[in-house]
Homo-oligomer: A and B are copies of this chain.
Amino acid sequence: VSVPVPFFHAGERAEEAAWLAALNAATDAFEVRPGRDMRAEDLARTEVAIVANPDPADLARLARLRWVQSLWAGVERLVGELQGVGIVRLVDPQLGRTMAEAVLAWVLYLHRDMPRYAAQQRARIWRPHEPVPASGRTVGILGLGHLGRCAAERLRANGFAVAGWSRTPKEAMAFETYAGAQGLADLLGRADIAVVLLPLTADTRGLLDAARLGQMKPGGCLVNFARGPIVDTDALVAALDAGRLGHAVLDVFATEPLPPGDPLWSHDRITVLPHISAPTHMTTAAGIVAANIAEFLKDGTIPETVDRGRGY
């Protein structure tokens, strides 16, 4: 009989069932079961759990819990709620490819003036605009973790000029990078399109406020594929309304789903997306999660966990 590993998933039952099937198909080394269906003594004994937006009260019952494996890359809620337990983020090469594709797709959307041509179509206006070569657009990537680096590489392969920013200096990147507070001002002042791929931490919450948005190149565009609270939405709307910035593509919001009454929906310089830039790919993610846990059960190895000081 195989070891039961609890799964705590706060979402739709159908999605939970799909994850359970994918996880159990990925391994024979253990059995993934919904936490709520496990006996109290099994829960008290487990040292590892798989989580997707879990209820903290459920995890508090796991007396011997040493680490949790998240099904997502963003773990800001877990960091806040879960003390004394290692948190392992999902690092999925497939996710990197999907995010790189999303960044490329919406950078091309802005680069090739799609919002403007859509507005002209609605007004039945035939008006070509002067093309700009990709090499004439600088895309600034905020956040140079796995996803940021994948996006930067993909943009470079498609001819864009790329520059990156991270909290601390990075070595040996194939493109220009900036770090720290002054570095962010420099990058924002250069980028025609700024793409946010930062984790949400105490440092990044509200990072792109009125002052930072004011440092952006006039007419610049913003893409947020990370977390809503990194951008001050009121300040963004003000900058767009004033014509200081060109357009924003927002895939993430402080409240999701974005409420139907939110004015962002109808802003003609904002493209609203329902958090679709890089959905977790169940099959590859399940394989990675299963391999991590199988290795732990075999020899006690825990994958790299989140640095609580940094928050990611």
Contacts and interface: CB of A to CB of B under 8 A. Distances in A.
Given A98-B131, A109-B114, A273-B117, A126 B258 contact: yes
Interface stretch (A47-55, A76-84, A100-108): A100-108
Contacts of A105: 105, 108-109, 111-112, 114
Contacts of A159: 97, 101
Contact of A274 (B128, B157, B271, B273): B128
**Copies of chain A in the complex:** 2
Most buried by B among A102, A117, A260, A273: A273
Nearest to A102: B112
Nearest to A257: B126
Interface residues of A, number: 43
Interface in A100-148: 101-102, 104-105, 108-109, 111-114, 117-118, 120-121, 124, 126-129, 131, 133-134
Contacts of A273: 117
A279 interface: yes
Contact of A108 (B101, B134, B265): B101
A168 interface: no
Contacts of A94: 133
A286 to B, nearest CB: 16
B124 A260 contact: yes
Contacts of A111: 105
Contacts of A90: none
A210 interface: no
A306 to B, nearest CB: 26
Contacts of A260: 124
B265 A121 contact: yes
A301 interface: no
Nearest to A258: B126
B101 A274 contact: no
13 contacts: A101-B112, A101-B134, A102-B112, A105-B108, A108-B109, A112-B276, A114-B114, A117-B273, A117-B276, A121-B272, A124-B265, A127-B274, A158-B158
